[in-house]
Amino acid sequence: MESLRQRVDLLERENQRLREKLEPIFGADNPCFDPAIFRRVLSTRVLMLMLPMFLMPLLPMFLAISRSVVPRWYLGGVPVLDVMGHASGYKGLGLGLVAYGGVGVGVVACGGGAIGVIACGGGAVGLVAVGGGALGVVAIGAGALGVVALGAGAAGYYALGQQAVGKYILCMRRQDPEAIEFFTRFIPALRRALTTAMPVIPLKSGTRDTQEG
């Protein structure tokens, strides 16, 4: 019996040691949160939202063909479509309402660096920014900084990521109710990672004895 007690004590100490090592990474244990489902849903949604950036290497081939058939339209002196400077005259840069280049600047901008209302690129800055590094009101990327930020690493007022910092956070180590309410409106699948604990119903002393009697 003493040997069994010692083994239980040893297991409890080992369990506590492992929890102390993991808490800085994953936060305190939350029985109502499934990290495996959370990672899977987050990775899938980020991949879908970043799909335009992954397709960008194919864009130059399409645009190289389109340059020969699409006229150089201008609106108030601003190119409607500029690909690598073919309309603006700045070789390698995209400057127009729709712009593509090593650096793209426009209403819709794509490129290695992109600045626009909607920006997509390795580094993107815009109202809606999608990129390896993204800065915007809504930012989506491997590293995202914005009012609403979503990515592997995210920082924002509302932040969703495997690692996240901000006012209201939904990540591996912390699950704020405000962030849960906000992000599940747009990504309902996240609810699968969030469960509700079974309610504890206290019984008055002697209730069971009375019922049995």
**Given a cut of 80, is residue 139 above it in pLDDT?**
yes
Q: Distance between CA atoms of 179 and 161, rounded to whole angstroms?
A: 11
- 99-113 tens-digit pLDDT: 888 888 999 998 889
The region of weakest confidence among 52-56, 125-129, 141-145 is 52-56
Closest C-alpha to 132, from 49, 55, 53, 43? 53
Q: Is 85 left (phi over 0), alpha (psi -120 to 50) or beta?
A: left
Q: Distance between CA atoms of 151 and 149, rounded to whole angstroms?
A: 7
Contact 105, 99 (CB under 8 A): yes
State the pTM of this model.
Answer: 0.70
**Average pLDDT in the chain:** 79
